[in-house]
Amino acid sequence: MLVNGVKSLKPLHRFQAVRSFASIHQDSFGNPLSVLRLNTKEAVVSDPEADEIQVKVTAALVSPDDVSAIRGEKRVPNASDFAGLSSVGEVTKVGGQVKHRKVGDQVLLFKDGAWADKVNVASSQAVSVSKSVSPVAAALFPVHLAAWALLQSLHLPPGASLFQAAPGTAVGTSVAALAKARGISVLEPTAEELLDAAFVRSHRGRHRAVVSGLGGRFGAAAVRVLGQHGKLICFKGRFAPLLEVATVDIPVSSAIFQDAAVEGFDLATWIAGHAALLPQAVADVEALLSHAEAARLPPTATFPLKQYQTAIQTAAEQGGAAVVLQW
């Protein structure tokens, strides 16, 4: 829990049954390299409530959203004493009212405080992932689910085209792979092309579906290529603090004369409003992993939990790679 911006430990009021030995604690908001600490001391984890499951975490993605939450830029309800917004693991206990889950299932968690050895989570905050998917690959599912949700919001049929203006971002790379697997044509300009006035002019007003994970001049280029009834969806693709990400200027003429729209996207917000779509999204992502376009998915760098600082630094420096912590 957070008290005056500082995290304070919550009392354990349930039967204390399981011991945990590895977690990333967060004591306050700020630079992740300063406010996080690795805890390898024995801790007690209570039994799950009736509607909860207990999960032994095996891997977790390090994402821009995680870093934004640690810095205090992203509002997280019911803030935990642990860092992390998602992780993957194996169910070890099931509450009495939980159906459709059993011990041994592999699940993906969406919960603040997910970077802990053992986690109690409401069954509704977890989604099943086939055990044929490795824990590292499953930890990357938030990237692919964000890509799936972005495409869902654009309503693109096979044969449509997409302008992917998010070079060097893991979600942008996944969007392109998933779109191509669906038979959607994807234009992927480089960062240099997005900053080239001649290139942008040649595409001005030609695209009805655009995604962008970068602000400033990159985002401005994405706005300029929007065509009649076009839609631009922006997501946070950078690890830079939100206040350091330049804003995007949107010409009023685009909104008035072209009926163009610009929307923001946040995975946690999308999940809160579309939880019923998660099983289908996961099934589609699992199918993508066996598709030829899977070779285009973001490269993965893995780090043991004790190297969490190196993992965070690597994620920040190599925005196009997906970085995973392993327990």
**Contact criterion met (CB below 8 Å) for 3 and 27:** no
pLDDT (0 to 100) of residue 320: 64
Return the structure tokens found at 209: 């579906």
Q: Calculate the alpha carbon distances from 215 to 221, 266, 307 in Å.
A: 10, 15, 30
Return the structure tokens found at 198: 């001649």
pLDDT (0 to 100) of residue 81: 83
Residue identified by tokens 């327990």 is 327
Residue type (1 letter), 267: L
d(CA 50, CA 244): 44
Residue whose C-alpha is closest to residue 222's, from 234, 236, 237, 239: 234
Residue identified by tokens 């019923």 is 276
**Contact criterion met (CB below 8 Å) for 183 and 195:** no
d(CA 145, CA 175): 9
Half-sphere exposure of 171 (CA within 13 A, CB side): 30
Helices (H) and strands (E) in the chain, counts: 12, 18
DSSP 28: B
Q: Is the dihedral of CA 187, 237, 302, 79 positive or negative?
A: negative
d(CA 65, CA 78): 16
d(CA 247, CA 117): 38
DSSP 244: G
**Contact criterion met (CB below 8 Å) for 27 and 7:** yes
Angle (CA) 29-65-196 rounded to 5° is 120
Find the DSSP H helices in 155-215: 170-181, 191-194, 197-203
Find the DSSP H helices in 6-124: 32-35, 64-71
- Predicted TM-score (pTM) of the model is 0.86
Give first-to-last CA distance, the chain, whole Å: 24
Q: Is 141 buried (19+), middle (13-18) or exposed (0-12) by CB count in 10 A?
A: buried
Return the structure tokens found at 320: 């196009």
**Contact criterion met (CB below 8 Å) for 158 and 184:** yes
Residue whose C-alpha is closest to residue 146's, from 86, 67, 192, 221: 86
Segments of the chain with pLDDT less than 50: 1-17, 243-244
Return the structure tokens found at 125: 């905050």
d(CA 86, CA 84): 6
